Structure 1
Amino acid sequence: MRPDLCLQNAGRRYGLRGPWVLRGVDLTVAPGRLVRVEGANGSGKSTLLRLLAGIDAPSEGRITGRPRTAYVPERFPPALPFTASGYLTHLGTVHGLSRRAAARAAGEWLERLGAAAYAETPMARLSKGSSQKVAVAQALLAEPELLVLDEAWTGLDTDARAELERAVAERTVAGGSVVFVDHDPRRLAGLPDATYAVRDGSLVRRASREPSPSGPQVTVEAQGPPDGRLPEAAHRTATSAEETAPGRYRLTVPAPHSDVLLRTLLTAHPPWHVVSVSQREDTSGSLR
């Protein structure tokens, strides 16, 4: 397993005499963690994410444990001399994929994000929403160990937003880390392992994972193989797991992540038997 990514007394300013945007930042991002960053506009959130992504270097302090990283910036330059597919294939080779594997991954992500129809469209002619889908796809092509998302949901349609949430779940289940900023407080509500706020150039830890996430929840009843051991990836995806009988579990997961949980159970070795799947509108117990 890769080492933790650590910022130690990290600071960042622009120019030798410029004001400090961040200073004295200590942050550890362990594998498999989901971290939310909050703060007012101009507080330094994007600067922190650029440090984590390796786009900027700290002006003081240090960063250790650098993983393979992918980054979705707040503003993505759409006017590039490529088609959507050509750009993603090129980026895939930069990330170390063969050209054939990069082209295949490009097609898969464009399909998942609902942009397959624009694969051969020049980037300069894409709408803002379609351009954002390409920005998200380029970050997910090579299964990064650290995914950094700066307002990545902005401009996406409903289906693409849900697909990005599923991709976040897949990355953390696979042992990757995700650090994100989003203006919507409901985004991935209750799921982050830690939430930090940027205030006056400092980073303050706000809260651990909330016990009762809001939004639609899916309950999965599953029967395991003879050893009855729940896969670790299922534990990481579910917000709660209760063993109701030997080898039988009741698992609860936010609705956008239910596909990831079901895939984890059905592709385990040996596979689990999914007995039932039901959805609740919220955590109060009312059925949808």
Structure 2
Amino acid sequence: MAAVGARHDDTPPGDRAVLAAAGIEKTYRRGVWPARRWVRVLQGVDLALAPGEVVGLVGENGSGKSTLMKVLVGALSADAGTVTRRGRLGYCPQEPVVYERLTCDEHFELFGHAYGLTDQAERRARRELYEALGFERYAATRTDRLSGGTLSKLNLGLALLADPEVLLLDEPYAGFDFDTYLRFWELVGERRQAGRSVLIISHFVTDEERFDRIIELRDGRAVPR
């Protein structure tokens, strides 16, 4: 298995960053009138990823992890702050966004067209992902007939399809068995060695040695752990 070794330098990536967020703020309106209130979820988050860096983002439920991830990929606008992206992003949301009547193969074809891949490049990447994640036997299966674990594999595979420079994963191994969990870290290790960056959201981190840095969202801010 390709290991993801820890770095000895905890200095923020700065100008080398392939993804950088500065001063991100986000407030939500909760409840109904007259009990309506405003809740500040993100209160000036700063975050940066260097090439080839694997970073974990942890925090309690409701701390704003998924909100921050959506801001980073552009799926949600921030109230304040800036996000700078360099290169292609791959995004694996916590809840898979799939079409129930399409097969796994058809999803890869659809996403390949969206990414602007040639048919040959898409088919090659698809074969490699099926093999790496071990679900090629479900290639012709509709997604409404997949188990939760296999659906998670497809979700991850679609994020990896275009070989993005930055991979953003929200609870990516939920539903994985142990063998798939190890396969996942092999893929992460290969990406790190290729100079690709990975940001992983998780409620908790058990294998801290696999990460270069771990950042905690606490009181609306990102702090090193």
For the criterion TM > 0.5, the same-fold answer is: yes
Q: What corresponds to 1:194 in structure 2?
A: 213
Q: Following TM superposition, by how much is the alpha carbon of 1:136 offset from its aligned partner in structure 2, in angstroms?
A: 0.8
Larger radius of gyration: 1
TM-score, normalised via structure 2 length: 0.83
In the superposition, relative to structure 1, how do residues 36 and 165 fare at CA in structure 2: closer, same or farther (>3 Å)? same
How far, CA to CA, are the matches of 2:100 and 2:120 in structure 1? 22
SS of residue paired to 1:169 = helix
Q: Report the equivalent of 2:56.
A: 36
* Alpha-carbon separation, structure 1, partners of 2:224 and 2:71: 18
Cα 1:22–1:66, aligned 2, differ >3 Å: closer, same or farther?
Answer: farther
- Determine which of 21, 41, 46 is the counterpart of 1:26: 46
Counterpart secondary structure, 1:155: coil
SS in structure 2 at match of 1:77:
coil
* Aligned partners of 2:135 and 2:150 also within 8 Å: yes
1:6-28 per-residue CA deviation (whole Å, 9 max, x = no partner) reads 11111123469842210211112
Is the contact between residue 90 and residue 102 of structure 1 (CA under 8 Å) also seen in structure 2? no
- Name the counterpart of 2:122: 102
Residue in structure 2 matched with residue 75 of structure 1 by the alignment: 95
- The question of whether the paired residues in 2 share the 8 Å contact of 1:3 and 1:30 is answered with yes
Q: Which amino acid aligns with 2:118?
A: S
Alignment partner, residue 198 of structure 2: 178
Structure 1, unmatched stretches of 5+, are 207-288
**Identity within the alignment, %:** 38
Q: Which amino acid is the alignment partner of residue 9 of structure 1?
A: G
Query: Which has the bigger relative contact order, CA under 8 A and spacing at least 6?
Result: 2
Deviation at 1:184, TM superposition (A): 4.7
Number of residues of Structure 1 aligned to a counterpart in Structure 2? 205
Q: Root-mean-square deviation (CA), in Å?
A: 2.1
Contact 1:85–1:107, Cα closer than 8 Å, also in 2: no
Structure ranking higher in helix proportion: 2
1:150 has 2:205 as partner: no
Q: Using the TM superposition, give the Cα deviation of residue 128 of structure 1 relative to its aligned residue in structure 2, in angstroms.
A: 0.8
Q: What does 1:238-277 align with in structure 2 at a 5 Å threshold?
A: none
Residue number among 132, 143, 149 corresponding to 2:152 in the alignment: 132
2:94 aligned partner, one-letter code: E
Aligned partners of 1:125 and 1:108: how far apart in 2?
Answer: 23
Take 1:20 and 1:184, find their aligned partners in 2: how far apart are those partners? 23
CA distance in 2, matches of 1:156, 1:70: 20
